[in-house]
Structure 1
């Protein structure tokens, strides 16, 4: 799958020459590691207690006109699937403008 000449890595390189291959556990780019860590920590904070995720959903319904419960609920980071990490990061970015005020309301 990740073959340099015939696998997914080769295909991605033809579509996006600036892409680089990184095994899921060996990412050495500090900013990516930090972003994944922050996204994961915030999602875990909200997902730990049902009341927190419920408050987040209420706030999102009020503030985001196109809010959809499954689409805009913070997602857990998957350790092995980058596409799931992408979903989690995109959802995090959708909620980011309101997270500080939501955290203020929770506290």
Structure 2
């Protein structure tokens, strides 16, 4: 998975300059790492944390890869992140750590 963005910033002299940024996420590496952790912690269940958009790696894609590779649960920081996973069709158990009483 690769994505890019052009982020305008002010350069020398105050002129706007576009900086190109990109990221490459190796879902194969995610899969291998999750499989290794799942094997190491068996027979316990494995929760993979995908908060903050899986640390900007793409929560839905990382979650699907993790679940297909041996994770049984997902963790997020807030309820909105859990609801986003549900909207993306993910049905695995999700724990939202920071959802307190009265939080949407």
Higher strand share: 2
TM-score range, shorter chain: under 0.3
